[in-house]
A and B are shown apart, each in its own frame.
Chain A
Amino acid sequence: MGSIGVGKTVIRKEAWEKVTGQAKYTDDFISNHILTAQMVTSTYAHAKIQNIDISSASSLPGVKAVLTGEDYPVLFGQLIEDHPPLARDKVRYYGEPVALVVADSAFTAAKAAAMIHVLYEPLPVINSPLQAVDTNAPLVHEKMIMYQIVKEDIYPNYDTNICDQKKIRKGDAEKAFEQCDVIVEAAFHLPQSDHIAMETRSAQARIDASGTVYIKSASQSPFSIKKIISKIFHLDQSKVIVEVPFVGGGFGGKAPVQLEILAYIASAAVGGRAVRLTNSRENDIVSSPCRMGLEAKLKLGASKDGMLQSVQMKYLVDTGAYSDIGPTLTKAIIVDCTGPYKIDNVHCDAFCVYTNHPYVTSYRGFSHASSAFCIERMMDKLAQKLNMDPAELRYKNALCPGCTSPTQVKITSSNFGNLNSCILKLKEIINWSEGTRMKVEENIIRAKGMACLWKTSNSPTDAVSGVFLTFNPDGTINLNCGCVEYGPSMKTTAAQILSEKLKMDINHISVNMDVNTKYSPEHWKTVASMTTYMLGRAVLRAAEDVIRQLTSIAAVALHCPREDLEVAEEKVYVRHDPSLFLPFKELVHGYKFLNGNAVFGPILGQGSFIMNDLNILDQETGKGKSGPFWTVGAQAVEIEYNKKDYTYRFIKAATVIDAGRVLNPKMAEGLIKGGMCMGLGLGSRESFSYDEEARVLDTSLRTYKVMHFGETPEYLVSFIETPQIDAPYHARGIAEHGIIGIPAALGNALSLAAQAEFDELPLVPETIWRMKTGGIL
């Protein structure tokens, strides 16, 4: 028996391919004649390139081409075009690609890459965002004023390292502080870290005799690749065809475009032959973009009853050597800067600054895991000063319908959900009332910390999605969409939504797992937890389109008015007499009368979607609407802290999310738990460390540690369902959210356990030891 619709657990469509080794990822497409490219990367974080000697590498048998930055003097970037595909004149971060070898095998390519000699003249480095904003700081980009700015809401400060600034001015923060009974202040230091998708980034390119470019890539953004390559190399968009097979994890790291450009120039250099370029893990960590770093200073004030009155914030986003999506990450901070709390007086400045660190891009949570750490630590500090239960403080101040967000968007039950229900449910499942700090044995303290989260999206105001539906002669459906399957099961979600709308067995709906920009309708990018909303809306429209066509044909065939017809279980039937019906298979390729005459034709369904009421934020006040809805939630972490050796272990991690409606329960739970696991990694171990020359030291999985099996806590996940009226079957996006509050909840739990204020990440035992002892042995 098949399954129909949303709200019940559905096995993902591609499940069997993924447990048999049949699912193909980009670098699994290997042919004998494909050439291999390898990058040579910078050994300095900031240095002039004096000379690149490629002579011995070029003459190695099997080497087809060696490219340097001089060969393609172009600049690219999704917001600011500041980025050469291969470094020119100078390198700006350790690991930056400076040359590209194309050879007949990986073996030869590696050999040749080792024979390329680059002569550098080291320059002073910017090794932190604070250094970047020093008055006498050296410039990472001396010619910023020459750069093309692609989006309208970027505000660079030329002749500095600030490539963008975003502001919130709401109420009068300064004046409101004068009325506050309690004020807390703190500074936060959050380092860069990395996505570590298990599949490293990979791209292939070839150019056919007509000049058409074919790119295959492990990407979340096939349509961006098409646009960016066509733009920088002056090609018609129809001449750039991008294909994306299964993707082995994204987490935002595969949303930008990088290797695709390198693969394209490599192919162009060898007459259009197919070239593959796959990152080593080391290159994937340092050469390709990572997760942003953040420095923050916050001041939060409340009246003595615990009502928040005013907040002042200054954020420095470490965007690294290039801007990529850094300005939008900066925007995302200010948009949700207060946390999901009602604060009428907000003064927030956020700067996106260049440094000589690896450049950054989107990462699960899109800056919210960082900004939530700051505001949620502040909430606990405030609760402590007020001598109030941190859960109560949050409950009292939770946003609710009638309030406005920092960007002055009106909060409704539909666009926000119900945070207080999440807080109450969280208290219940984590057993908050038993106490948050307990001594369990000599030197062992058990403690709980919590954090709330909210997140809206920051897409372009005209982001689009689309769906094509075709029928097979037996009545089964092919759903063709442009979103990429990299884990969260979005293709299965699309099938579920269609199945619900057509009341049809989901097993009779097949979805394209790969995306091809030539055949698939454009989907902006598979990011931002927006796929269910955007794609789902397009699916519903496409379903309505085929229902209209099916009933039009059936009305002729059944000699009845169209409005009397219903569609369900792959049939069109007369509502008042369901015994009168026609199965899909007699309608979907047109209708044939008994005498052989045929009418209509194959049913082709389509539905599209565009964001429709978003706008650019006001430069001075930040007023405006950046996303269609929020997803809110509350999270907690329980730990056992050992006072003697400053270690701790995870006992429980809990999340309550207002999902609007849970479409696929076991999948939804898995997404939240996966996010929590990643959040525990961020909180407890993941970070880049740099030497004095700004070189990243943690460049392999031997030294960059992520969570492993057996280190995880008991996971508790629960959902609240406050309908989002404009979402497909009321479902909010939930794919990123499991990560957002976890580092903060851990910070709060550990601060309580160790009775010290932890305002930096990651919280390794050494950090605790240093805080507790002053670093004196």
Chain B
Amino acid sequence: MFCLKGKSLITINVNEEDYELLIRPSDILLDTLRNQLGLTGAKPGCNNGDCGTCTVLVNGWPVKSCLMLTAEAVGKKITTVEGLKAAPIQKAFIEQFAFQCGYCTSGFLMVCHALAGIHPDPPDIVIDEWLQSNICRCTSYEEIGTAIRTVLDGKIE
């Protein structure tokens, strides 16, 4: 455990690069990513952990960056949508029409990408549980389900 008192200089690793930042102890990761690093792929949707538009990966696991303090990111590897390098799920989302307005997309991509890495062969119930963390208001969700399944089935180059 480390302790921050007042504004402090910290280093966090995002998309495999180290960044030295001045933060308040109360700063949330979402705001730091967007306002200080200009990584606006993670979106604010509710700032309450209900919608998942702000999802990023922390050591490979999806985390709602509105519910995580920036200080908690020290020593961990953060991946945002900008850090996805031609991940199969990105192509799958395009081919399956798994987004319309695109605002929830970054968050869903991060959840799906992590799911494919952590559970390469999940039963449907696991997919449902993982993806229930996020909200999409445009699609019917079926498209997103098809996209993740095409990735899990290795149908994407």
Contact = CB atoms under 8 A, between A and B. Distances in A.
A712 B141 contact: yes
Nearest to A677: B140
B100 A709 contact: no
B11 interface: no
A280 B39 contact: no
Contact of A248 (B43, B82, B140): B43
Contacts of A251: 137
B29 to A, nearest CB: 15
A213 B29 CA distance: 33
A27 B31 CA distance: 12
Interface in A688-728: 700-702, 706-710, 712, 715
B102 A246 contact: yes
A709 B137 contact: no
B50 interface: yes
Interface of B: 24, 31, 34-35, 38-48, 50-51, 53, 80-82, 84, 90-91, 93-95, 97, 99-106, 109, 127-129, 131-132, 134-145
A674 interface: yes
Contacts of B44: 27, 200, 278
Interface in A451-504: 486-489
Interface of A: 11-12, 14-25, 27-28, 30, 106-107, 196-200, 246-251, 278, 280-281, 486-489, 666-667, 669-671, 673-674, 676-678, 700-702, 706-710, 712, 715
A20 B100 contact: no
A437 to B, nearest CB: 26
A532 to B, nearest CB: 15
A113 to B, nearest CB: 15
A489 B139 CA distance: 13
B141 A18 contact: no
A14 B139 contact: no
Chain A to chain B: the 10 pairs with minimum beta-carbon distance, closest first:
A21-B41, A248-B103, A710-B128, A18-B102, A487-B100, A673-B140, A701-B50, A487-B101, A21-B81, A28-B40
Nearest to B95: A11
B106 A677 contact: no
A488 B102 CA distance: 11
Give the most central of B24, B45, B81: most A CB within 10 Å.
B45
B131 to A, nearest CB: 4
Given A30-B34, A200-B45, A709 B141 contact: yes
A20 B45 contact: no
A487 B138 contact: yes
Nearest to A251: B137
A678 B134 CA distance: 15
A18 B46 contact: no
A402 B106 CA distance: 50
A24 B41 CA distance: 8
Contacts of B103: 25, 197-199, 248-249
B37 to A, nearest CB: 11
A674 B138 contact: yes
A15 B94 contact: yes
Given A21-B82, A28-B40, A30-B40, A701 B101 contact: no
A340 B136 CA distance: 31
Contacts of A15: 94
B109 A19 contact: yes
Nearest to B31: A106
A21 B39 contact: yes
B65 to A, nearest CB: 13
Contacts of B51: 198, 281, 701
A248 B101 contact: yes
